[in-house]
Amino acid sequence: LLSLADGEAGPCAVVEAMTRRHLADVRAKIADLRRLEATLDDLARRCATESDPRCPMIEALLDDQASLNVGA
């Protein structure tokens, strides 16, 4: 946006469109972070209550790694 201030900024609609695209990106990142927060909270809670010697966090990471390697 600041680069538009150096010259002719053009219509405000151009700036608004750029701002709305950026806002959509920020909102998507926030949603991703909220999902990550919920997942980590769940795993931490399970680690605190599980009596199984296998750590739920490690098991989840291994499951994710295995699912990534399936398509490779």
Could you read off the pLDDT of 1-42 as tens digits, one per residue? 666 665 555 678 888 898 999 999 999 999 999 999 998 898
| 14 sits in which H/E element | helix 12-49
pTM given for the model: 0.62
Dihedral (Cα; 57, 60, 64, 67), 10-degree rounding: 160
Residues 6+ apart with CB under 8 A from 50: 56
Residues 6+ apart with CB under 8 A from 47: 55, 56, 57
Contact 53, 44 (CB under 8 A): no
